[in-house]
Amino acid sequence: MEYESETLKRGYTTAPRNQNEGSNMAKREDRISELPVHIIHQILCRTDLGVEEAARSCMLSKTWYYCWTSRPNLIFYQFDMTLENYVKLVDQSLRFHVEQNLHLEQFILRYRDPEVDFHVDTWIELAVKLNVTELGIHRLGLTSYNLPDVIYDAKKLTTLQLSRCNFEFDKRFSWLESLSLNHVHISDAQLQRVINRCPSVRTLRLQCCEGISKCHIFGLVHLKYFDASYCKLHSVIVQAPYLQCFRYTEPTEQGNLHPCEIAILDGYSTLQTLELTGATITDQQFRDVSYKFPNISELNLRLCYNLKNIEIQSEKLKKFTLFELKSLEKLTIQAPNLLEFDFHGSKMPVTYMDTSSLESARLILIIFCRQVVYIIFVLNLCITC
């Protein structure tokens, strides 16, 4: 732990000025030392501290220092750290866990130097030996990292996050519950193979992926959360009987929508959150969705330019957001249990809205003047205040 020790030395250099101060510091140290190890682990994992700041806090007590080195959540962001120090820190932390036969829950890497790739294979192998349950490899830059085959030996792995990684799922990941792919080049056939070999997945995220044109999901009976963002897909079809959340995001290009067929073929009684950004959904398609999924409690529609007439009749809807629906001409909301309403646009075409249970509303109206100057009116209402 050479690097961490150096960090700690830099963090605390002031000695007690008198005997009483030293005694008080000792008492404070005793109180901190009395905290259970798992509580200190939670503090270190949940506080928003960088590597150096968290390590510096270990000067509080010997118990705290031990907890820092033995924490089950190893998260390493390189940021401005030099290559040498970053490699040394990850190496020493992992090898300490191996030597002490410690449990490892989370191992997350986010790095920018391509030279780190040479060490990642060894780190993943060590993490697998420690029965890691959540693994994240986030490579920054233009090139990709090749995921090693040792990943298939991670029998305890339930969560996998990959950014700019090449991989081939040649074996079944029957224990994997959450899969996130970011800036990954993957073909339609590869994606289908991934879906087939991860039957227990409950969460699937595809963000900024290239190479795929369609995402057709059948057979993932445990799927609850689905997110496809910035992938320029031509069709998204999801059949999942217990689906709770569906998110689709595709930015507009010069005001034009990217055409994509969206179909949710199951989860009629379980879907609670629906978010569509840049979708080509029409008025009739939206009416069909409202009818088929009566239990939606959170609805978010953004940049859906084909929507002109929105009619909502729902007793379950609690949060409703509309953002820049520039073709919208008529809006009717009959939702007696609606609590939050957010609107952002150039006009407010509300024909009818039941506000009996509304607790908060945020209205942002934009008026363009001469196509250049614009004035923004912002209205925040807290109904219950």
Give the range of the structural domain holding residue 16, as residue numbers without chain letter. Answer: 1-71
**C-alpha to C-alpha distance for 361 and 279, rounded to whole angstroms:** 24
**C-alpha to C-alpha distance for 312 and 108, rounded to whole angstroms:** 43
Residue 29 C-beta-side C-alpha neighbours within 13 Å: 14
170 and 304 assigned to the same domain: yes
Among 41, 71, 101, give the residue marking a domain's end.
71
Place of tokens 């369609």: 214
Within its chain, how far is the Cα of 218 from the centroid? 23
17 and 85 assigned to the same domain: no
**C-alpha to C-alpha distance for 320 and 332, rounded to whole angstroms:** 12
Q: Which residue from 20, 10, 3, 2 is spatially nearest to 59, judged by alpha carbons?
A: 10
Classify the C-alpha dihedral 216-221-222-224 as positive or negative: positive
Among 54, 71, 88, give the residue marking a domain's end.
71
45-92 per-position pLDDT tens digit: 555 555 555 555 555 555 555 666 678 889 899 988 899 999 998 998
pTM above 0.95, yes or no: no
Which residues 6+ apart lie within 8 Å of 316 measured at CB?
Answer: 294, 295, 296, 297, 337
| Percent of the chain residues past pLDDT 70, beyond the cut | 77
16 and 45 assigned to the same domain: yes
112 and 228 assigned to the same domain: yes
Residue 379 C-beta-side C-alpha neighbours within 13 Å: 12
Tokens of 76: 């390493």
The mean pLDDT of the chain is 84
Which residues 6+ apart lie within 8 Å of 135 measured at CB?
Answer: 107, 108, 124, 127, 151, 154, 157, 159, 160, 161
15 and 162 assigned to the same domain: no
190 and 252 assigned to the same domain: yes
Average pLDDT of the segment spanning 344-349: 85
DSSP β-ladder status, 235-238 and 245-249 = unpaired
Using an 8 Å Cβ cutoff, are 205 and 180 in contact?
Answer: yes
**C-alpha to C-alpha distance for 279 and 147, rounded to whole angstroms:** 33
109-140 per-position pLDDT tens digit: 999 999 999 999 999 999 999 999 999 999 99
53 and 176 assigned to the same domain: no
81 and 221 assigned to the same domain: yes
Say yes or no to pLDDT of 8 above 60. no
Backbone φ and ψ for 327, nearest 5 degrees, come out as -95, 0
67 and 185 assigned to the same domain: no
Confidence band (pLDDT; 50, 70, 90) for 349?
confident
Neighbour-count burial of 157, counting CB atoms closer than 10 A to its CB (0-12 exposed, 13-18 middle, 19+ buried): buried
228-243 per-position pLDDT tens digit: 999 999 999 999 999 9
Cα angle 186, 90, 140 (rounded to 5 degrees) comes to 35
Number of structural domains, the chain?
Answer: 2
205 and 193 assigned to the same domain: yes
Tokens of 232: 């320029």
DSSP β-ladder status, 360-369 and 373-382 = antiparallel
- DSSP string covering 119-168: HHHHHHHHHHHTT-SEEEEEE-SSS-EE--GGGGG-TT--EEEEESEE--
318 and 261 assigned to the same domain: yes
146 and 283 assigned to the same domain: yes
Among 24, 39, 71, give the residue marking a domain's end.
71
